[in-house]
């Protein structure tokens, strides 16, 4: 079986210890870790473990995986202290991501799973992208096809896609457009069909304002922007409905009506998603020519190196990546 490429993430966070713990629990699916082998060994020793770690190439990772954690070494140096992020490690963090994408492109890896990064660490080193997702979109250009990355938070209980992501709440109304909603929904519909094998994905759309605007009494965006976008998409054949009041669309009975919720801003979707399934949630990037998943949590610098990090979300991310790339 072709293995999955797992990135290092920020080496001062919990990514390396999570990789060690996940391998120790069976891994979910065969993977190799792109990291500094000595940094991995240091974390392993600090945790009091004796995990077998073997430096390898992607091509040999699958045969090594049952017996040792396969680590594909980086060229950039890593000098990390748990809980103390350092922009000097930015080149290694980015190398891990770029090479992992390259291995997926070449066929040496079947999918990409990324450990958490800290944006400020990269920004301090001159990183020009808003985040992980946008950087992956640029790397996807190697496929020669347009890539429009779309973030979905998935769990067995709820899948959500925010139309706007990492922008201030005050900027959301001005950032919402019919074209943006339509483009996001088309990517969601396409990838749920192609990756998740849903014959006709059901998409529920949240309104922006309380009570979806209360017929314009609490804002016109739901009437002037969201509703016309939904009408256009329904005319194209998508099974999509709304805008719905966001405060009543996430309870158990409401969730039975749809496969994914399209929300208008980050917290509108991620609060219910993380409340319902914090440990099992997976960040899935739609709109790319390859499968990319990630645990639905951050670097957790406050507990890094202390053996407290829960590997459940990373295991879920690896399992989902294996399923979507089958």
Instruction: Please calculate the CA angle 189-191-196 and round it to the nearest 5 degrees.
Output: 105
Q: Which residues contact 105 (CB under 8 A, 6 or more apart)?
A: 142, 143, 290
Helix (H) or strand (E) holding 267: helix 266-277
Query: Which has the closest alpha carbon to 311: 152, 119, 157, 115?
Result: 115
Per-residue pLDDT of the chain (326 residues; tens, 9 = 90+): 899 999 999 999 999 999 999 999 987 899 999 999 999 999 999 999 999 999 999 999 999 999 999 999 999 999 999 999 999 999 999 999 999 999 999 999 999 999 999 988 999 999 988 788 888 988 988 888 778 899 999 999 999 999 998 889 999 999 999 999 999 999 999 999 999 999 999 999 999 999 987 888 888 999 999 999 999 999 999 999 999 999 999 999 999 999 999 999 999 999 999 999 988 899 999 999 999 999 988 999 999 989 899 999 999 999 999 999 98
242 neighbors 117 (Cβ within 8 angstroms): no
41 neighbors 48 (Cβ within 8 angstroms): no
What is the C-alpha to C-alpha distance for residues 247 and 293, in angstroms, rounded to an integer? Answer: 28
Query: Which has the closest alpha carbon to 154: 31, 6, 272, 28?
Result: 272
- With 0.85 as the threshold, say if the pTM is over it: yes
CATH code of the domain occupying 1-146+296-326 = 3.40.718.10
What is the C-alpha to C-alpha distance for residues 323 and 4, in angstroms, rounded to an integer? Answer: 11
Q: Do domains 1-146+296-326 and 150-287 have the same CATH topology?
A: yes
Domain covering 150-287 assigned CATH 3.40.718.10 in the classification: yes
DSSP class of 235 = H
What is the C-alpha to C-alpha distance for residues 196 and 203, in angstroms, rounded to an integer? Answer: 14
Number of residues assigned to the chain: 326
Cα separation values, 284 from 166, 290, 324, Å: 16, 11, 10
Specify which residues 113 forms β-bridges with: 6, 293
140 neighbors 104 (Cβ within 8 angstroms): no
Burial label, 181 (beta-carbon count in 10 A; 0-12, 13-18, 19+): buried
Domain ranges in the chain? 1-146+296-326, 150-287
């Amino acid at each position: 079986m072709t293995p999955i490429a797992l990135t290092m993430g920020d080496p001062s966070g919990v990514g390396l210890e999570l990789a060690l713990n996940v391998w120790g629990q069976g891994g979910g699916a065969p993977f190799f870790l792109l990291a500094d082998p000595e940094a991995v060994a240091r974390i392993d020793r600090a945790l009091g473990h004796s995990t077998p770690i073997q430096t390898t190439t992607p091509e040999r990772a699958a045969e090594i995986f049952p017996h040792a954690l396969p680590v594909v070494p980086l060229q950039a140096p890593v000098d990390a202290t748990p809980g103390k992020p350092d922009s000097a490690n930015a080149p290694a963090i980015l190398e891990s991501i770029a090479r992992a994408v390259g291995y997926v492109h070449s066929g040496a890896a079947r999918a990409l799973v990324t450990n958490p990064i800290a944006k400020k660490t990269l920004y301090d080193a001159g990183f020009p992208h808003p985040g992980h997702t946008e950087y992956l979109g640029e790397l996807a250009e190697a496929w020669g096809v347009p890539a429009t990355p779309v973030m979905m938070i998935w769990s067995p209980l709820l899948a959500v896609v925010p139309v706007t992501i990492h922008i201030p709440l005050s900027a959301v109304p001005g950032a919402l457009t019919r074209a943006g909603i339509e483009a996001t929904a088309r990517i969601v519909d396409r990838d749920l069909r192609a990756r998740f094998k849903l014959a006709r994905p059901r998409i529920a759309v949240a309104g922006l304002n309380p009570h979806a605007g209360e017929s314009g009494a609490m804002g016109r965006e739901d009437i002037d922007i969201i509703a016309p976008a939904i009408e256009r998409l329904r005319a194209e054949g998508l099974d999509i409905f709304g805008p719905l009041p966001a405060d009543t669309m996430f309870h158990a009975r409401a969730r039975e009506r749809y496969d994914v919720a399209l929300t208008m801003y980050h917290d509108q979707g991620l609060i219910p998603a993380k409340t319902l399934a914090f440990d099992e949630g997976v960040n899935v990037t739609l709109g790319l020519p390859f499968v990319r998943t990630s645990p639905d949590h951050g670097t957790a610098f406050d507990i890094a190196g202390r053996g407290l990090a829960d590997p459940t979300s990373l295991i879920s991310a690896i399992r989902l990546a294996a399923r979507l790339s089958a």
